[in-house]
Each structure stands twice: as structure tokens, then as C-alpha cells.
A and B are shown apart, each in its own frame.
Chain A
Amino acid sequence: MRLSAFFSGGLLASGSLLGCLQGEEGKGQIVSVNDDGSVIIRAGCPSHNCGGRCVLKLHVRDGEIVRIETDDRPTDDISDPQLRACIRGRSYRRRQYHPDRLKYPMKRVGERGEGKFERISWDEALEILASRLKRVKEKYGNSAILVPYGTGSYNQTNGRQTAARLMNLFGGSLGFYNSYSWACISRATPYVYGTSVTGNQRQDWINSRYIIMWGWNPAEMRDGTNSEFFIKKARENGARVICIDPRMSMSAVSLADEWIPIRPGTDTALMSAMAYVIISEDLHDKDFINRCCIGFDKSQMPDGLEEEESYIDYIFGTKDGVPKTPGWAEEITGIPARTIIRIGREYGSIKPAMLYQGYGMQRRAYGEQPVLGGCVLAAITGNVGISGGWASGIALQVADGGPLWNVFPTGRNPVREMIPVFLWTEAVLRGKEMGPEDGVVGGDRLQNNIKLIWCVASNILINQHSDVNRSAEILKDENLVEFIAFQDQFMTPSGRFADLVLPVCTQFEVWGLQDGWKYGDEVIINPKIYDPPNEAKSDYRICAELSEKLGLKDEFTQGRDEREWIEWAVNHFRNTRFPEIPSLDQLHEKNRGVYSVPVEKPKVALSDFRDDPENNPLNTPTGKIEIFSRQLYDMDKPDVIPPVPKYIQEWESPFGEESKRFPLQAVGHHYMPRVHSIHDQIDWLEEAFPQRVFINPLDASDRGIKNGDQVRVYNERGEMVIPCRVTAKIMPGVVNIPQGAWWTPDEEGVDRRGCVNVLTSHKWTPLAFGNAQHTIMCQVEKA
């Protein structure tokens, strides 16, 4: 191998690798050249919304990526560890060169949803989209347009934010708030802490002595590149780690000293019983509670609410007559009382301790409650604001909230009304009837039902939204949504419902940039390796060309191409999180794929508040940690939005009538081979992790099911037939259908691939109006 400096001006937006080697422009890039003539280009990965932000070392020969390695920076210190890509990034050649990539613009020729299209020119395609946008704007107004939630691409120049910018210049589109990932945890955390920035920097994890991975599976979903590695380091440093999860997850096996299986949807019951143990054994941190919290007991209740139920009232059953004992929780959670007592004592006495909440338990009916409950446990044990502790909640990284994600400027949306993101099908059916009772903000009522959907980098229309069969019926009706444009790299199940299909390039075919995912003080660079194949274009380029047809070109592009927007983004990062970041030219020249800031002295969230709560109050109404929330009390829905965290039986539950017909709980966990629904078609990943339903041997033998059998999984919303894995690594009574598989209905409408959303319900959570997609009862039988 030899090291050379090549001239790389060709890696401009319009250029290609060939240009790089020919040295058209005279900007130097340090690239090494292998004996086979391939050159090494380092690139950030992915441009999707997975839990990682990593580095790929691409071997490029004759304009083709022939090998993918990963971050090879010489040091791998915990302050700035290598960003090693996972199986998804390492398989990327199979996605990049997949024969099914969308090649040309197409328009629908069959019935909507039939999936029949014919090739058209780009000019015709953009003319169609421009005229439909204008027509809907004229007939209904901008609020009838939706650019749906979606994170399929996420690197500034690819992704829905490009279309959002154009629509905002065009007069706006229906706004939304919240996400499918974090609805409850992002909404509920501030009720306790007044902020979402409750997380210490990860390098501090090694100072913890006791770590509860509560429904948290960083080895599989990553939750920031290296989160699993940091937990490993914490354990090497002496922390005891337990994992609470219905599944013996990859994290439970590799990171935990003990796995505690729990019945899905009962986390707050376990939390309450742990609190019962902690308080009755006098393990709670009374000084911290006195100084920093309100609502713990009668002495701490807000003025005028002294007689209401405090936290301790709930725990000891003073008002409801039900003490939340370990025995009480055993019946609900399926965890032996003695285990609950033991982990309650451990969490109450081993200091400092970290209770890290995963996000699965908050994508459930009443998903707000375990978020609040976890925060309260952290508070009453005094684990807030200290090194090695953890305040729980959404835990964005101190001091600045961590990564910014998309910084591409979308501008102000002139349409002021916003819906909770999960309720978009409701806005299709009855938008004009929707108001605050449906979570609408920014106006009393929506002005319109949704009439045009421009779906960019999103599979939310079908695959990732609840109740696929319902969504399909809604979208088929051309009287409801009159026009659907779809812009993506592959023909996903959502794409099948489009009237117009626009092909998009991948992360190697356009300049892009991202910073860390929740944690991680780094910026990764996606250099453009070569031009998009066939007629694919970047999302930004498509929008730029459409802006011309809408008469908005100058405002939209501001004269920039994709690379110049990435320069803009680098400057934005320099002005915000990374004052020392070099220019894009310099980053490109260094060819490391990443700019990172080592964290030598990790910061601790809420430490100022802890040290001096009077002078550094929280942004809550009382300035304290609100174990009892007057704001929640004032909502006057105590059964579903209690002012202290409570266990509430879910609307589909093993304890309800529905369990007679559908006795098994189903969850849809984030699966190693996919980023949501991305990568579902990749052979190397399917070989490593096939799609199937996981079922306990006891449930399987009751049903005459053997490992590998095709089984039918169904409830009243839908059904699928897929193979099963019979394994003891899942709790009895629970099945797991990894989320993200592409809905593939046969003639009878039975899904043959295993899209969990044929089973999920579109009912939303009471406070956050969030998705409750893991609250599912179903039945399984041999197919």
C-alpha cells in the first residue's frame, strides 16, 4: 500500500471519483491507494436514523465500492473511541448495488395500492407534482398538504427536511410534533425535571456501581455508537448490571449480570413495588427529597392540594387501599416478590446507581407512566445530579442537549396548526373536526383534512404506522387523500400506494453530514463518492428542481448545491456545538470521515441544581423535581393522567377480557439487521437474522408448534404467516415479531413477511398522543 495525495476537486457535487483521480480542481485529499488500485475514502454511516453514527472505510475502484471496513483511527480510548460500524453499515454494498433500487420516475397506472407503475420523464414527474401541489393549495389551502414524519434519510441533503423547506416557502403544510420513537418520554420527562437534558455524558457511566438496563438494548439498537461498549467498560470497572426485559436481549446476554424478565406493560408496577421496598426499608435519600423534590409525602404537597394523594400515599395505598407491595407487583409483572425486594434493595443502597430507561416501554398504552416512574425512582434514591448516577427520563446529553441532528434550515411553517405526529390518519379522515382534545396545537381546529401527501424518506404511510390494513383502506380511497407522491430509494410498502414515484440516491451519492445520535460529540461526513446511477437524484436536488416549477428557486436554493449546503452545515456546527471544527475542505482533505471532540472530563446533568436548588431552580412550576405534578393534576383525568406515576392496566392486556381470544402479548423490538424498515431486503442481513416470530417453548408446545414451523399470528386487526423460532429466551405468554419487516400481503390479505403493524392498534396514549405500538394482544397457531 502506498500513501498519496490526490487532487480531489472532482468530489464536488457534480463530480465523481474519476474526477478526484484526474485532479480537476486542485484541492488535495490524502488518500491511500491499495495494490489493486482501489483508493480509501472514509465516510460517515449511516444516512438513516439508526442509533449509531459510525465511520466506514470504503475501498473504491473504478467507481465502485469494492470493500467496506470501519473506523481505523489509531487510538480507541474511551474519551474518543473508534466509531465501529455494525452489521448494517458493513453490509451496505448489498444495499448500494441492490437490483431493486428505484431507477426512474414513475406514475401509477393501476388502482391505488396495486403497485403498478410506468416510467415517465423527470420533467413530466415534476410537472405533475407541481400542478397537484398548486391545485390542492388553491382548492383547500396549504394545511391540506402533509409531508409526513420519516427518518429514512437523515443527512441534511437527503431526507424529508428538504421537502419541508420547500413547502414552508410554498405557504406551508400541516405541522406535526412528537415522534414515533419518543412520544411519551419526550413529553413526560419535563413534567418531572423541567427539561429533557437529564443525561450525563457517557464517559461518566464507568463511575456507576449499579446499572439497570430497563427495557434498554444498546447492543442491538446502539443508542449512540459505543453505548454498549461504555456499559461493558462500566462493568469492567466494577458495576453490577441488571437487565429488565421480556426478552433475553442481546444486551441481557452480553452486558448484564442478571436478566429479569417482566410482563410487557407492567413496568410501573415494578417501579412502584421497588419504591415500596426502598421507602419501607428507609433506603430513600431523605435529604435529597427534602431539598430537591415536591410531592413525595403530605408535607410536600402543593398549596391547596395537601389532601390529595402524594407519592407515598399511592405507594402505601393510603387512599386506594392497595399497598404496592412486592407481592402485589408479582401478580402483575410475573417477577417473584423476592426478586423485586432484592433489586429494590440493590437500587436503594448501591451508590451511585443508574436506571437507564429504554424507549420500548413508553411506546405503549399509558407509556407516560414508566417514564415518570423511572424519574421518580432516580429522585427518591438521590441518584440525580451526581457522577455515576442517572436522572432517568429521556436523558438528552448535558450541557447542551447533545446532537442537533438535522440542521438544514426548513424555515418557518406559515400553517400554524400542528397535530401529534401519530394522528395523521385521523387528520385524513376528520381533520376539520380535530382540536385540542386530539392534541392539536397552534389553533382551535384544523382547517382541512389531509388531501395531498408528499412522502419523502418515509415508510410511515403503511409499514411503520399502526394497523396496516386500516391505513391501506384509508389510502386506497382517492376521495380522501387525492394525491400521493413518494420519494425514496426503494419501492417500499408505502410506495405501492403512491400516484407518483421519484427515485432518490443513496448516502454515497450525495454530500451529507450528521452529528452524534443522542450521545456522541462528533460530526461525521458523507463525501459524495460518485454520481447517482440511472436517474436517481438527491432529495435536495429533486426539491430544487421542483422549486423552479413553483417559482421559488432562488429562495429555496439560495444559490447552493448540495456540497455548499454541507459547507453551510459545517459552519453552523462551528457556530454552535463545535467551535474548532475545520472547514469542509479541510475535513475532506484529511479523509478521516469524522471530526470528534474527546471527552476527558464528562459532565454531569443537574449537578448545579442538586448543589444549590434555591439558586439554580429547575424549569418546573415549583423549581423542584415534581414527583407530584400540579400540571398533570389540573388536566383532571386522574384515571389516565395521574399526578403521580401509577401502574394502569393497559387497554389490551393479559388481565382483560380480550385475553380470552387473544392470550399472547406481542412486542415488536428493534432488530439488529434493520433500521426500522430499512435494510429489510438485504441478503447478508436476512442470512444473519431472518425474520420470524419468537415464542416460548411452553406456548409453542401448548399449540403443537415446533421450532421453524410456519405459524399464523393474528388478532382482530390482521394476520401474518411466518416461520417461528421457539426459544426459552422470551418470557412465557409473550411473542416477539421484530418490527420493520415489509408488509407483503397475499391474495387473502395475509402478510407473508411479518410486518408487526398488521397487529398493532392506532389508539394513542392519553398525555403525549403517542403511538402505543407495543400494546398488542394476539393469538398464534400452527399455519
Chain B
Amino acid sequence: MRNKLTEMGKKQLAFYFDSSSCSGCKTCQVACKDKHDSGEGILWRRVYEAAGGDWVKDGNAWVPNVYSYYISMACNHCVEPLCLYSCPNNAIVKNDDGIVLIEKDRCMGCRYCEWNCPYGALQFDKSQGVMTKCTFCDDYLAEGKKPSCITACPMRVLDIGELEELEKEHGKSNEIFPMPRAHYTQPAIVVKPHRDARMAENVEMKIDNLEEIKNEQ
């Protein structure tokens, strides 16, 4: 099954995200909520605020040793989608564009996929009793438009493309903190890192805004 899904030559759409200029304004998050009418607590796209470091008193002065950047993330429509593999009812599919989708009428709401996704992309909708996730705005793609989050961005730091093309242009960059190691699922995303992202190796970085991103349901 795994080989069939990822056979060579198949299209793999991917997100591009320029973290170096992301302001964390979350317009993408709300554009997504508005388009998909996802309820409170459901964040198909969400923005992680990474922060770390400390302050040093130097005489009368305060020296900041503080680092921060934002990671806007939806579903990464992984090349190896663990969510799909874990679904006991085959309710998750990967389409010809490489987009990972949930077939709602097959979903039992068991939430196994939620446990398996290392990105928190799969989110339970209590009112419907099913899992939900980013669809890459496949309806917009069919109309020749880009996903809602992309065209929303006031800083123009989001885009889409073919994974291979994006990696050719920007290099492979898909495990910026707080993203997990990429080898588990091979996420279809290319992140241009903020300069502070390299500090994650030297200082303890944490997600500063956990309360803003957890799926409440």
C-alpha cells in the first residue's frame, strides 16, 4: 500500500512558507476558518510562536539573548502520511495531486490518525463526530485558484508548488523547530527559516503560544 501511494512520478503539491518574514498575524488561520467554517477550537492552519533565550544584566543594562520566530502550518500532505496508514477504516486517501483527504462518511471518529500525525494537523470535530483537516482547498485548485491561506497573507510569505520544484528552488528545509524530524512522514513543505531558527541548537526554544494552538475538542 505504501509503495502504491508514493510511486514515482506522481504529483506532490506542497506548501512553501517563508518564516523569515512571517509576522505571526494569523490572517492565514482565520482565512482558513472562514472558508471552511471550522468551529471554535479547530485550527486546520495554525501559527506556532517559537521563542527562547534569556536576559543578562550587564551593569545597568539589560542584554537580550532572546530569539523568536513564527511557523505557520497546516497539514503537510506528507509523502508518507502516517495518518493514512493508521486509519482502521481506510477513511483517509491521498489524491493524484498528493493531497491527503478524509472521506468523511467513512470516518468513525476513532482519532487514531490524530495520535499518529506528528504535526497536529488532524483535528476532531465534536459536532460532527469526525476528524477534519486541511484539504489544500482542493475546490479552489480545481478553479485554478490558490488555497485561501496563501492569498490571505499580508506579508506574502505563503505559497504552494510542486514539492520537487520548491525543493529545487529553496532547498530541502522541513524540520525547523518545533517541527519533528522529517523522516517519519516526509512532509510536503519547504520552510525558509528565520535567522533565529538556528538558535534552536544553542538555546532552549519552546512554543510560546501553546494555549493558542491546541485543538480544544
Contacts and interface: CB of A to CB of B under 8 A. Distances in A.
Given A86-B154, A331-B60, A728-B52, A253 B23 contact: yes
Contact of B148 (A69, A229, A335, A337): A69
Interface stretch (B61-69, B85-93, B125-133): B61-69
B10 interface: no
A688 B25 CA distance: 9
B35 A261 contact: no
Interface in A317-371: 330-331, 334-337, 339
Interface in A1-23: 1
Interface in A668-715: 672, 683-685, 687-690, 696-698, 708
Contacts of B155: 219, 228-229, 232, 254
B34 A67 contact: yes
A3 to B, nearest CB: 13
B135 to A, nearest CB: 15
From DSSP, what is the main secondary structure of chain A's interface residues?
Answer: mixed
Interface in B7-30: 20-27, 29-30
Contacts of B41: 687
A728 B51 contact: yes
A163 interface: no
A69 B52 CA distance: 35
Contact of B53 (A1, A86, A728): A728
B53 A70 contact: no
B153 interface: yes
Interface stretch (A87-95, A607-615, A617-625): A87-95
A244 B77 CA distance: 40
Nearest to B154: A84
A253 B70 contact: yes
B21 A232 contact: yes
B69 to A, nearest CB: 6
Contact of B62 (A72, A91, A334): A334
Contact of A90 (B24, B31, B63, B156): B31
A84 B26 contact: no
Contact of A690 (B53, B59, B212): B212
B36 to A, nearest CB: 9
A2 B20 CA distance: 39
From DSSP, what is the main secondary structure of chain B's interface residues?
Answer: mixed
Classify chain A's interface size.
35 or more
B165 interface: no
Contacts of B25: 86-87, 219-220, 250, 672
B29 A688 contact: yes
B105 interface: no
B66 A219 contact: no
Contact of A729 (B40, B51, B59, B148): B51
A688 B24 CA distance: 10
A293 interface: no
Interface in B107-149: 143, 148
Contacts of A334: 60-62
Contacts of B20: 254
Nearest to A260: B64
Contacts, number: 139
A68 B34 contact: yes
A228 B26 contact: no
Contacts of B52: 728
Nearest to A218: B23
Given A67-B34, A248-B68, A220 B23 contact: yes
A698 B21 contact: no
A726 to B, nearest CB: 9
B137 to A, nearest CB: 11
A683 B216 CA distance: 14
A684 B41 CA distance: 9
A85 interface: yes
A76 interface: yes
B62 A67 contact: no
A685 B26 CA distance: 9
Contacts of A336: 58-59, 61, 63
Contacts of A683: 40
A423 interface: no
A255 interface: yes
A317 to B, nearest CB: 19
B132 to A, nearest CB: 16
A439 to B, nearest CB: 37
A259 B30 CA distance: 28
Contact of B24 (A254, A330, A685): A254
Given A219-B155, A254-B24, A728-B55, A67 B35 contact: yes
B34 A90 contact: yes
Interface in A30-89: 67-70, 72, 76, 84-87
A1 B139 CA distance: 11
A728 B51 CA distance: 8
A337 B60 CA distance: 10
Contacts of A232: 21, 155-156
B208 interface: yes
A74 B30 CA distance: 23
Contacts of B51: 727-729
The 6 closest A-B pairs by CB, nearest first: A219-B23, A254-B23, A336-B61, A250-B23, A331-B60, A688-B26
27 contacts: A1-B143, A69-B31, A84-B151, A84-B152, A85-B152, A87-B25, A87-B27, A90-B31, A90-B34, A228-B23, A248-B64, A250-B23, A250-B24, A253-B24, A254-B22, A334-B61, A334-B62, A335-B61, A684-B33, A684-B34, A685-B30, A689-B212, A728-B51, A728-B52, A729-B51, A732-B55, A732-B62
Given A337-B61, A684-B40, A696-B55, 18 more contacts: A68-B34, A70-B152, A84-B153, A86-B154, A220-B25, A248-B68, A253-B70, A254-B20, A254-B70, A336-B58, A684-B34, A689-B26, A708-B211, A725-B208, A725-B209, A728-B52, A729-B51, A731-B62
Interface of B: 20-27, 29-31, 33-35, 40-41, 43, 51-55, 58-64, 66, 68-70, 143, 148, 151-156, 194, 208-209, 211-212
Interface of A: 1, 67-70, 72, 76, 84-87, 90-91, 93, 219-220, 225-226, 228-229, 232, 248, 250-251, 253-255, 259, 261, 330-331, 334-337, 339, 672, 683-685, 687-690, 696-698, 708, 725, 727-729, 731-732
